[in-house]
Structure 1
Amino acid sequence: MGSLKYRKFGYNLIVLLFILLIQLSSYSQELKRPFILVKASERNNVLEKIETQPWAQDIYNKLLKKTDSEVDLFYKNPESYLKQLPFNWDEAQKNQFPPFYKTDHVENGVHKNLDNATDEEWKPAELLIKNLQVALDCSMIYYVTQDEKYAYVASSILYSFVKSVQKAELSNWHSRGGWLFPYDGFREVRVIGYKLPLIYDFVYPYFQNGGKSLDIIKGDIVDFPFNEAQNVFRTYADITINYGHTGSNHSVLEAPSLVYNALAMDDKKEREKLLSYFLTENTENQDALNVMAKNYKNKGDIWPETSQYLNHSTAIIAKLMLVVNKYKPELKLAKTYPNVLYALPRLDYFVYPNNEIIRWGDGHRHGSSLYNAFEDAYALAEMDGLNDLKEKFGPLINRAIQVGKYKRKDMESIFWYDDEIIGEPESFELSRTDRVYHAGIVMQRNLSSTNNPKDGLMCFVGGAHMVHGHAEGMNIELYGEGQVLGVDNGRGKYAKDIHENYSRIFAAHNTVIVNGSSQGEGGWSNLGINTVEVVSMEPQVGTKGVSPYHSFSQTTFDDNGGEKAEATQERTLALIRTSPTTGYYVDVFRSKSKLPNQFHDYLYHNIGDTLEFENSNMAFESTPEKYSQNANAKWDRGTYRNPGWHFFEEVKTSKPYNEAVKATFNVEQLQAAKIYMQMHIPGFENREYTQVKAPYTFEAPKPYDKLPTPTLVIRNKGAAWNNPFVVVYEPFNDKENATITSVSKLEQDGVYKGLKVISESPKGKLIQYIITQSKGQEFKNDALNIYFKGTLAVITLDGNEMLQNIYVGQGDKLVYKNKVINIGLGKKYYRTY
């Protein structure tokens, strides 16, 4: 027994030692550079892809051709080539590298970040970025070919940078200071800082084999200064850890520099410590992954900013998760933070039928999901054994390839992705409604059975505070005839007058301004507003909807920025289709203030050439001073010329006008067709109408991206609650013409309750009673034999007044003649007759 015991002990010891040897061998192999983007041990696999896979051959050959042209230039005169770097020779000390010219931007004698830097101010940075990219390209080609001529070029550029950058002092401006960009380190780490460690990682084997670099000061080939390089990497990591601010995409955008510079550290303990600032260690100036991931609490949650930032931020996080997971597979980051990856496709759902993006805050009109990030997610899912994620992204990747939206195009694709992605391409279905929760947005979509984007209808209402958000109130956009017609202004360059004093405050949006004083307050850039809240909507997100023709949302908003608005608002927005090619929107906006002498202004911007009124008796007169009160008010960091309507030009105002109004926005310079947006506005007392030319709309279709935006402002003196702003919008083109022939209001005891809309649709004459109330209210009209308790109902009759269908978006009970419909508390209903 004793001998057996010792034999077992010896056997177990041998097994344990064997396992330890394997682990040590594996760990040692992993630490052999390169290992940041791709391991040294993966080279044969990379070579095989290049030799056997056409897509990999194409990527590699293009990079090789591009790189060889620079390498040829280098070897013609290496010293001259390196001296094109932006050295400030006037400050050079004897026998030492000169410092680089710093990249700075000055406005009116004040140093600012580089958002609006001139070409001349940006030139030093441009030269550095170009040369560092050459070095990075050369270093990757060296990894593949093992040809030291590429490593010599890369190492010599890196050597020159390391020597020169250390001549600069690190600044600390607004907690955003840099090294070479003293007033914008945030940008420096994004365009320069992340490249250096990658170059080092790839050429490290060259140094191990005795490779040297060219020193243009000594005019000689010398050893690479490892300690100095480590100091440079350490400094760029430190800029991220101890500069900048948290709670925004800044932490994400700086994270690649942090991760790559951390992994470039040769001392394992220091490497792990710096890497911890990406994984778990949060500072006052940098959020770690465990905090970033909290933005993705539920599957489908997205980064809480505007469209281009939410998309880009999530893609960066996914990429870094893959890099760190490859370095340390036991972390299983995809398994720990799967919801980050599930967020990646969401931007593709926030689109109009013409594939333009709904716009909120600083978001762009054009863009799509970053499909290479889908592949990062797929690779992570394979590493961590997450079949659900693989099954999610495989079909999406293959579909993007199939329809031409995605093509692998960089070396990282060869390093990271397999040739075969499992999953049949799936059709991409957009839901009837959707929400961007952090932006307060509720979308409604009704795609046509014609499958023609011009016949699709779509709208949204929304508004909220976030980084890069706008103080926009309860804003809408409207789509029709293949274009976004009712538009948000968008944004141009940051920090400009039009951006800060128009684009991102109330007057640039389709909203209501209260007492001329609606504004943001507090929060990011002092643009804080409340979030638009949903009272009710139909269909709910992800559900089919009870009617193929109708949908609606009712939302609320508190306009309490500053002290002069103090308003409660409610907006009901309904989408009503009348045929596969026609339909309209009903907008009902209620607004009331706690303050005396209140007035409310309803704003609507529509791209186009002119706004024409059919009412000949409105007596418009020029009123150039009407919106100019704040044109010269104080403007500095966080203080704006609210509400921004001093940018309106050609201001013309009607006399007080109580009658119904019919007006049309003419959009006649598009290449495809002449299109129009017609407005029907029931008459109310205490109203006046103003037509203006607002600034041009960013990213509008040509030529409207350079032409003023026709805009209507309706002023209501007194509260606009019992008698709210009510507008029916119908888009049409010059071949189909408008279908709505009349719009009249339904009232009860002098209080607005709804509309009667008569239209000549392609399917024939329709008479529609549209009841729009606050939740729980009642409408009774004995003459029409209608009773309704609830928020929204549509009763549709044909030309012979025969009942066609009844839709209740939200309600308790509806009676129409002999039809009694007990729906239940706050339910929905639809039936055809």
Structure 2
Amino acid sequence: MKITKKTNYSLGALLLIVFVFLSLRVTSQQLERPFILVKSSERNQILEKINTQEWANEIYLDLKLKADVQVKEFYKDPKSYIEQLPFNWSEKKNNKFPPFFKTTHIRNGVQENLDNATDEDWKPAELLIRYLQVALDCSEMYYLTQDEKYAHVASSILYSFVKSVQQSEVSTWRGRGGWLFPYDGFREVRVIGFRLPLIYDFIHPYLKKEGKAFDIIKNEKVNFPFEEAQKVFKAYANITVNYGQTGSNHCALEAPSLVFNALAMDDENEREKWLSYFLTESTDNQDALNVMVKNYKNEGDIWPETSQYLNHTTSILARLMLVVNKYNPMLKLGERYVNVLHALPRLDYFIYPNNEIVRWGDGHRSAHAPYEAYENAYALAEMDELMTIQNKFAPLINKAIDNGKYKRKGTEALFWYDDSFDNESTTIDLTRTDRVYHAGIVLQRNLSSTNNPKDGLMCFVGGAHMVHGHAGGMDMELYGEGQVLGVDNGRKRYGVDLHENYSRIFAAHNTVIVNGSSQGEGGWVNLGMNSVQLIAMEPEVGKEGVSPYHSFSQTSFEDDKGDKAEATQERTLALIRTSPNTGYYVDVFRSKSRLPNEYHDYLYHNIGDKLVFENKDLDFKKTPDRYMANASLPWKRNKTYKHPGWHFFENVRTSKVYEKDVKATFHTKRLSQGAVFMQLHIPGFENRTYTKVKAPTTFEAPEPYHKKFTPTLVIRNKGEAWNNPFVVVYEPFNEKENPSIQSVDKIEQDGRYKGLKIISETPTEVLVQYIITQSKDEVYQSDTIHFEGTFAIITLDENEKLQSIYIGDGETLKYGNEKIVVDPNKAYYKSYH
């Protein structure tokens, strides 16, 4: 067994290692099993909980019912019961146990990990996992009841596993092999490896007094093989420490197996050594906790991956910190790594008004708050006397229980959680703007005074490279009428053609593709790209907006992976509310390449039935080969892709070169809530063509659009798109409303785009708005307006009487008799009525 340690320790880290070693040694000498999840001394307190608290009694009765069914079956015929384990009897040797069937997946003649394994592939593993769960249930019932019939069942299953698993060798496949999953040790430790030590820990008192296990080969009860079990625990710990990869959530996902197997070791020195690989001693294949927590440098920092991974990873760390802290309270892991706990609720701030999640990379659209992790954080905070954490999580837990969103379940709840908290429920106040820093995301929201999610507005721009990130450029999503309408494709199954060559590359995103060649390169699975950078935003994160109606962001991106795009890009996205029920978005996307013969394609995907253009003279014609040049490119899973992915577009129809303004509407008529629409106003420029396509289905879209194609618009600009960028005004509305925008006209100076004049008719008034959108340090000058800055809105009534002035980022604005000089570091808003 070879372990390669990373030994670049700071003085603080060395002191921590010494402290951990000494404290573990003192603690381990005082403990009798069980102690991994719960101690013997806590049993009476738990029984009291079961007798007095309804939720605890329900958990206990559920556990007892499941265990009793299996115990009854076992005692009918122990030999027959155990023989149903997935033994490969054809490979049995002499009087030894047969090995287990291996769980593998072969695709196109090649052994792969189990990401896309079939139901047939999974049969041996599923059967084995069911038996191990029976053993765990029975071992916990033994702890609670001290009834040895449960311990005998658990010990017989564990005994059979220990005997059988040793008939195989641990695979070294690509440094990621396993024991029973020879081509996916990463998955094996997550679904099998962590259960064994828990079973052992709970039934150890029974085994210690020579409690018997049933041996199906000898057909008799036998003593438990302690030394062999210890070898198995070390083997599973070793798979985590010596196999796998660092720098991703894999280290956290494998850590429960490492921690539980380390704690299952009876030799105190061995236990301390292996537990140190979780706490302080990283290897080339496994980051220790003191490395993983560097992702939580500041309060509010989150794990730098996509939504489902960041919460799951942080929840695992919080759980293991509680387990190890209970094992040795002197460590005070909650106090030492408190920012891990602060990170747990952050995903709840990245939600749309309909409670769906902002989506980036492989993230899902929906997820629940990790309430069990909240309770673990609270329990850890109680141990370490962290009142701030207790006060933070108690009301969140109370609210979730009171609202029926959370119900305690499982034995860890029974072992660890209290009946109730004194704190009252609370609400999460969603800020006007927020950022997901590692994903390059800048989001804006404007919730309506109606408190109706359908009237809320929200959008974001983002993009960055990370594990499970997508190479999608400077992406955008738009929300309206209770739905995410302007969508990112999302993801479904890993490793398939659609995922690799569409979902996670440019064509699946609301972005701009340069020279047909935008791509990812380098980094995680060769999908590396630059991060979207913030130029300006208002309001800044955590600050009140100067205007209740306006916000904006301006961001930049370098599209320079590969050698055929070589582009600089800038995106200004504004959210403008015009009444409690109406509002719109302005998207200004600038893009220019450093290469000759450049062209740029602006993509926008919207869930719906169809895209309808009001311009009858666009003269759309079928162009089936327009996006097929990359279709024959090589593809090698997780390495080489068919960038930019638009060969998946179907029913491709393209207009003639068209310089006039364009008006189009996405129709989404089959939602349960009724029909909704997204109307687009697109100022005309030279050298533009328009294409409408059917893009692949958007994953996790609302029914029935989760199974339908996604109508998509592509605007191509021949030549640079910087001085005259892509400009689109988006307005969502429903079937009971008319769109409020009456007209959109571009504002130009010396042949360069400078902004828009938009006239809206809301339910109560007509608004005339001049929206100036420039790059940094530019000046716009007309007969009536002078503006030095990035973003400003001048609002008039229908009689052109000044209503308000908003400067999101700028220094000087003159309109009529008004002259406003602004501190460059502050935004400005003034209402004139």
Normalising by structure 1, report the TM-score: 0.96
| Cα-to-partner distance string for 1:442-484 (whole Å, 9 max, x where unaligned) | 0100000101000000000000000000001000000000000
| Cα-to-partner distance string for 1:107-146 (whole Å, 9 max, x where unaligned) | 0010001010000011000001111011101100110000
Give yes or no for contact 2:623–2:653 (8 Å, CA) kept in 1. Answer: yes
Match of residue 757 from structure 1: 758
Structure 2 counterpart SS, 1:713 = strand
- Alpha-carbon distance in 2 for matches of 1:827, 1:26: 57
Q: 1:597 to 1:50 in 2, by over 3 A?
A: same
Please state how far the C-alpha of 1:429 moved relative to its aligned partner.
1.0
Give yes or no for contact 1:442–1:553 (8 Å, CA) kept in 2. Answer: yes
- Alpha-carbon distance in 1 for matches of 2:551, 2:342: 28
Q: 1:25 to 1:545 in 2, by over 3 A?
A: closer
Equivalences for residues 433-444 of structure 1 within 5 A: 433-444=433-444
1:452 aligned to 2:452?
Answer: yes
Match of residue 503 from structure 1: 503
| Cα-to-partner distance string for 1:263-313 (whole Å, 9 max, x where unaligned) | 000000000000000000000000000000000000000000000000000
Give yes or no for contact 2:189–2:240 (8 Å, CA) kept in 1. Answer: yes
* 1:230 partner amino acid: Q
Match of residue 698 from structure 1: 699
* 2:519 partner amino acid: Q
- Alpha-carbon distance in 2 for matches of 1:269, 1:210: 24
Give yes or no for contact 1:347–1:368 (8 Å, CA) kept in 2. Answer: no
Equivalences for residues 811-822 of structure 1 within 5 A: 811-822=810-821
Match of residue 160 from structure 1: 160
Please state how far the C-alpha of 1:210 moved relative to its aligned partner.
2.3
Match of residue 677 from structure 1: 678
Where in structure 1 are there 5+ consecutive unaligned residues? 1-22
* 1:98 partner amino acid: P
Give yes or no for contact 1:813–1:824 (8 Å, CA) kept in 2. Answer: no
Give yes or no for contact 2:27–2:328 (8 Å, CA) kept in 1. Answer: no
Please state how far the C-alpha of 1:30 moved relative to its aligned partner.
4.6
Give yes or no for contact 1:30–1:327 (8 Å, CA) kept in 2. Answer: no
Match of residue 512 from structure 1: 512
- Alpha-carbon distance in 2 for matches of 1:399, 1:671: 29
- Alpha-carbon distance in 1 for matches of 2:81, 2:453: 53
Please state how far the C-alpha of 1:405 moved relative to its aligned partner.
1.9
Equivalences for residues 555-634 of structure 1 within 5 A: 555-634=555-634
Equivalences for residues 77-226 of structure 1 within 5 A: 77-226=77-226
- Corresponding pairs, count: 809
- Alpha-carbon distance in 2 for matches of 1:624, 1:422: 65
Match of residue 791 from structure 1: 790
Please state how far the C-alpha of 1:94 moved relative to its aligned partner.
2.0
Please state how far the C-alpha of 1:76 moved relative to its aligned partner.
1.6
Give yes or no for contact 1:681–1:728 (8 Å, CA) kept in 2. Answer: yes
* 1:823 partner amino acid: V
| Cα-to-partner distance string for 1:496-533 (whole Å, 9 max, x where unaligned) | 00000000000000000000000001000000010001
- Alpha-carbon distance in 2 for matches of 1:304, 1:213: 46
Give yes or no for contact 2:398–2:420 (8 Å, CA) kept in 1. Answer: no
- Alpha-carbon distance in 1 for matches of 2:244, 2:226: 28
| Cα-to-partner distance string for 1:686-733 (whole Å, 9 max, x where unaligned) | 000010000000000011111000000000000000000000000000
Match of residue 337 from structure 2: 337
Give yes or no for contact 2:589–2:726 (8 Å, CA) kept in 1. Answer: yes
Equivalences for residues 71-470 of structure 1 within 5 A: 71-470=71-470
Structure 2 counterpart SS, 1:95 = coil
* 2:644 partner amino acid: P
* 2:645 partner amino acid: G
- Alpha-carbon distance in 1 for matches of 2:823, 2:343: 36
Please state how far the C-alpha of 1:544 moved relative to its aligned partner.
1.2
- Alpha-carbon distance in 1 for matches of 2:761, 2:699: 35
Structure 1 counterpart SS, 2:770 = strand
- Alpha-carbon distance in 2 for matches of 1:450, 1:30: 61
Structure 2 counterpart SS, 1:187 = helix
Match of residue 4 from structure 1: none
Please state how far the C-alpha of 1:654 moved relative to its aligned partner.
0.3
Give yes or no for contact 1:812–1:827 (8 Å, CA) kept in 2. Answer: no
* 1:574 partner amino acid: A
Match of residue 14 from structure 1: none
Match of residue 10 from structure 2: none
* 1:790 partner amino acid: G
Structure 1 counterpart SS, 2:534 = strand
Normalising by structure 2, report the TM-score: 0.96
C-alpha RMSD over aligned residues: 1.2
* 1:435 partner amino acid: R
Give yes or no for contact 1:97–1:217 (8 Å, CA) kept in 2. Answer: yes
- Alpha-carbon distance in 1 for matches of 2:789, 2:662: 28
Match of residue 741 from structure 1: 742
- Alpha-carbon distance in 2 for matches of 1:649, 1:27: 65
Structure 1 counterpart SS, 2:823 = strand
Match of residue 662 from structure 2: 661
- Alpha-carbon distance in 1 for matches of 2:135, 2:27: 28
Structure 1 counterpart SS, 2:707 = coil
- Alpha-carbon distance in 2 for matches of 1:774, 1:400: 45
- Alpha-carbon distance in 2 for matches of 1:28, 1:380: 20
Please state how far the C-alpha of 1:825 moved relative to its aligned partner.
2.0
Match of residue 772 from structure 2: 771
Structure 1 counterpart SS, 2:578 = strand
- Alpha-carbon distance in 1 for matches of 2:509, 2:313: 26
Kindly report structure 1 stretches of 4+ aligned residues shifted beyond 6 Å: 23-26
- Alpha-carbon distance in 2 for matches of 1:76, 1:658: 83
Please state how far the C-alpha of 1:569 moved relative to its aligned partner.
0.3
Match of residue 636 from structure 1: 636
* 1:721 partner amino acid: W
Identical-residue share of aligned pairs (%): 70
Where in structure 2 are there 5+ consecutive unaligned residues? 1-22
Structure 2 counterpart SS, 1:320 = helix
Q: 1:809 to 1:27 in 2, by over 3 A?
A: closer
* 1:799 partner amino acid: E
